[in-house]
Amino acid sequence: MTATRSPGLSDDRTFLAFLPVLCAVWADGLMEDAELSAVNRALDKAGWMTAEGRSRVLDWLDPALPPSPAVYGAALERIRDGKGDKRTLATAGVWMAGRAASWRAEALATLVRLEGALGLAGAEALRELTRVEGMVVPVDGRVPAPARAAKEAAALLQGDYPEVRARVRAVLRRPEMRMPDEIPRGEYRERTLAAVGVLAEEGLGAISYPREFGGEGEPAAAVAAFEELALGDLSVLVKYGVQFGLFGGSIAQLGTGKHHSRYLHRIATLDLPGCYAMTETGHGSNVRDLRTTADHDPESGGFVITTPDDDARKDYIGNAALHGRIATVFARLRVGTSDHGVHAFLVRLRDEHGNVAPGVRIEDCGAKQGLNGVDNGRIWFDGVRVGPDALLDRFARVTPDGEYESPIPNPGRRFFTMLGTLVAGRISIAAASHTVAKKALAIALRYAAGRRQFGPAGSAEVPILDYLALQRELLPRLATSFATTFALRDLVRRFADPDTDRRELEVRAAALKAVTSRHALRTLQACREACGGLGYLSESRFARMKADTDVFTTFEGANPVLLQLVAKGRLSRYRRELGDLSMWGMARYLADLAGTRLADMNPVVTRRTDPDHLSDFDFQLSALRYREQRLMRSAARRLKHRLDQGMDSFDAVNACQDHLITLARAYADCALLSTSVAALRGMDDSAGKALIGEVIALFGLATLEANRAWYLETGYFEPSKSEALRREVNECCRKLAPRALDLVDVFGIPEEVL
């Protein structure tokens, strides 16, 4: 069949019945062969059609002759203006045709079958037709979210330790905390040191230290301060973290009373600038095999610190190139012929006048991609002698008789207990990454709401935030930042709780550090592109933030290494849980797994596509947990199979590395959504809670959409459900776009730092 004239409109009721489906077919401007065939087959069997109606439908079926924009627009207006049942394309069509038509039921059956043949989800397709004009979803003129909802949401999102956060934000408003866009590296470093001095004067350096040594005894409050400081210059943030978090924190956590009383107050006031010298040129994440040595001297009771070769030099050490006077140096403790592994020692680098100490050699790392206000350096030690008290001896000591003692006899457990001090650093980097992403989104969404480009023919240009493509770039990332807020609040509370399972804390901290630092980088790029050429200017802040944040994926452990740590931690727990089960317990466990799988894989569930189901938190959580559990079981099977065949454990893990990293990311997805949902369910009903709930629902939908391929491969989704997810993400973006400015205002970022 071919059309004989250009497509137009008609008042014929049988034609009007077909019109919504015809508009849906032409929505992308193309008529595919499969679509043409499906409509022709339906038309051939539609005995209820009039000759006029059939002729007008045929006019719309020539792939080479699409309806003109004017005709298509008029058709959309007719569908929008029509009253009655608008649940699907089919019901909208028969209502447009008229309720009195004797052939109404027959027409409805034809159109429902046609929707199925075309693969259209009628409700979602109709929603797109009635709410979208071209690619544009108008924001102007819509009723914004009530100010009350945004205000309530801001209160619900506010983190713990509001007094500390307020103190930090007050300091960030001071002129000495701001850095020019263009500044010589030497001046930048000195201004950064001065800014950290301001923070010390305000008492913000001692927050985590014990009260008896001038601190506030609040390690979790120090994380809150770090999170807020990320709103300002990131070189200041990192130098603050090196001085008070890593250097001071290592002494607070690994030292004993004599170290605390001697050093902590001086560190907190910046009277004693220092370094945290762990990383070596040849060893970064692999701390266990660091090669700097600390040989016990039986005559003096002290130690001799030595760098055996250039590969073992301490590298990329913050504060080392210029300002650090003492370093916490991680080195292998050797007593006689015994190597007791890596321990921490305090080693002087410079005297009070800045002169490098004998036996120490320091080299400036030079210019970096970012963070050039931080003086990173390399350090060599040539037989540097330190006293007996140089060993930070909370977990191990060498007696005056030359005997090595430790309250933790197992060397592996002792090593990981010492490294437990890194948890605070990983949580802090996650918090800072989260803040940078929020700041970028606030800048980009404000810009997008005001910047105008293109528009309907003959009409004014529209804000670029009206475009679905840009909404999809920014709003799911905004939703991720909301979810990250709740996950970080939960993590910091676990960190502050002495009864927390430390192994689980380390796993959760590693996961969130990895995913939030990656989220920050991807968000910065999306925000820069959203702001076009103006986003490329220094004044937009994106260039500095991107350069400074890039290394967050490497700080406190490279992300791929941390993700493997997460996967191994989850598998270890899985093995322990299975090992603790009795025979009957194991039977029940396997039955529960089978029951869960049968429930999740029920065809009714795999095919459900209605918006209420897709946005339901129980469904979203079930889907994410199913993915993590299935990946964990399959990873365990793959590893066991290789080990049973005699493969070395290192090779077995390496062969499954991609699987393990995917498992770790699935665990992180579950953590983000589950903590967000738990937080929401603990709130009283309010407009603010409802607003946050919509944002978190978008996060869940976007996360499922990002993993559609996996769910399709495993049969958890059928194609129709996968397509419906995509459409529902679109719909959520459209609904939240008019409230985007309210949502970034919820973060409460001071104007002075934007």
Residue 453, in any domain of the structure: yes
Tokens of 157: 């999102």
Query: 452-453 and 404-405: which strand pairing?
Result: unpaired
Into how many domains does the chain fold?
4
Torsion of CA 183, 187, 190, 194, to 10 degrees: -50
Asked whether residue 384 falls in the same domain as residue 431, the answer is no
Asked whether residue 431 falls in the same domain as residue 565, the answer is yes
Residue 4, in any domain of the structure: no
User: How many other CB atoms are found less than 10 A from the CB of residue 361?
Assistant: 13
Asked whether residue 211 falls in the same domain as residue 254, the answer is yes
Name the maximum alpha-carbon separation found in the chain: 111
Enumerate the β-bridge partners of residue 314. Answer: 280, 379
Of the three residues 418, 436, 463, the one that is the final residue of a domain is 418
Alpha carbons 128 and 724: distance in angstroms, whole number: 12
What's 217's domain CATH number? 1.10.540.10
- At which residue do the structure tokens 């792939």 appear? 63
Supply the pLDDT for residue 596: 55
Alpha carbons 53 and 36: distance in angstroms, whole number: 17
Non-local (6+) Cβ contacts of 183 within 8 A are: 191
For residue 261, what is the DSSP state? Answer: I
Where are the extended beta strands (E) located within 650-732?
none
Tokens of 279: 């990383």
Q: Strand order in 377-381's β-sheet? A: 314-317, 377-381, 360-364
DSSP 3-state assignment of 133? strand
Of the three residues 268, 285, 311, the one that is the final residue of a domain is 268
From 549, 544, 545, 535, select the one nearest 444 (Cα to Cα): 535
What Cα–Cα distance (Å) separates residue 367 from each residue in 186, 362, 372, 550?
10, 16, 6, 15
Asked whether residue 211 falls in the same domain as residue 338, the answer is no
Alpha carbons 386 and 345: distance in angstroms, whole number: 9
Residue type, 245: G
From 512, 490, 472, 487, select the one nearest 698 (Cα to Cα): 472
Sign of CA dihedral 280, 281, 282, 286: positive
Alpha carbons 641 and 661: distance in angstroms, whole number: 19
Tokens of 437: 């992403």
Asked whether residue 283 falls in the same domain as residue 384, the answer is yes
Alpha carbons 351 and 586: distance in angstroms, whole number: 64
Alpha carbons 635 and 637: distance in angstroms, whole number: 5
Residue 147, in any domain of the structure: no
Name the helix (H) or strand (E) containing 274.
strand 274-277
Residue type, 706: A
Sign of CA dihedral 447, 448, 453, 456: negative
Tokens of 335: 């007593």
- 254 and 418 Cβ atoms separated by less than 8 Å: yes
Asked whether residue 197 falls in the same domain as residue 217, the answer is yes
Non-local (6+) Cβ contacts of 167 within 8 A are: 202, 204, 225
Tokens of 237: 């943030």
Asked whether residue 264 falls in the same domain as residue 278, the answer is no
Residue 499, in any domain of the structure: yes
Alpha carbons 522 and 515: distance in angstroms, whole number: 11
Enumerate the β-bridge partners of residue 346. Answer: 328
Phi first, then psi, for residue 270 (nearest 5°) are 65, 15
- 143 and 203 Cβ atoms separated by less than 8 Å: no
Residue 528, in any domain of the structure: yes
- 280 and 292 Cβ atoms separated by less than 8 Å: yes
Tokens of 570: 């989850």
Asked whether residue 625 falls in the same domain as residue 651, the answer is yes
Alpha carbons 624 and 613: distance in angstroms, whole number: 15
Angle (nearest 5°) at CA 199 between 197 and 200: 65
Residue type, 620: Q
Q: How many residues does the chain have?
A: 754
Residue 143, in any domain of the structure: no
Query: 377-381 and 360-364: which strand pairing?
Result: antiparallel
Residue 376, in any domain of the structure: yes
DSSP 3-state assignment of 7? coil
- At which residue do the structure tokens 């529902």 appear? 728
The low-confidence residues of the chain, meaning pLDDT below 70, are 1-6, 28, 82-86, 99-100, 121-124, 128, 130-147, 421, 577-605
Enumerate the β-bridge partners of residue 136. Answer: 133, 467
Q: Let me know if 52 is exposed, middle or buried by CB neighbors in 10 A (0-12, 13-18, 19+).
A: middle
Asked whether residue 61 falls in the same domain as residue 85, the answer is yes
Residue type, 718: E
Alpha carbons 530 and 534: distance in angstroms, whole number: 9
What's 343's domain CATH number? 2.40.110.10
User: Can you state the angle between helices 502-530 and 559-579, rounded to 10 degrees?
Assistant: 140
Alpha carbons 384 and 304: distance in angstroms, whole number: 5
Asked whether residue 55 falls in the same domain as residue 162, the answer is no
What's 629's domain CATH number? 1.20.140.10
Of the three residues 240, 268, 296, the one that is the final residue of a domain is 268
Asked whether residue 307 falls in the same domain as residue 363, the answer is yes
Tokens of 270: 């910046």
Residue 139, in any domain of the structure: no
DSSP 3-state assignment of 749? coil
Supply the pLDDT for residue 593: 55
Asked whether residue 288 falls in the same domain as residue 258, the answer is no
Phi first, then psi, for residue 350 (nearest 5°) are -145, 160
Q: 211 lies in which domain range? A: 157-268
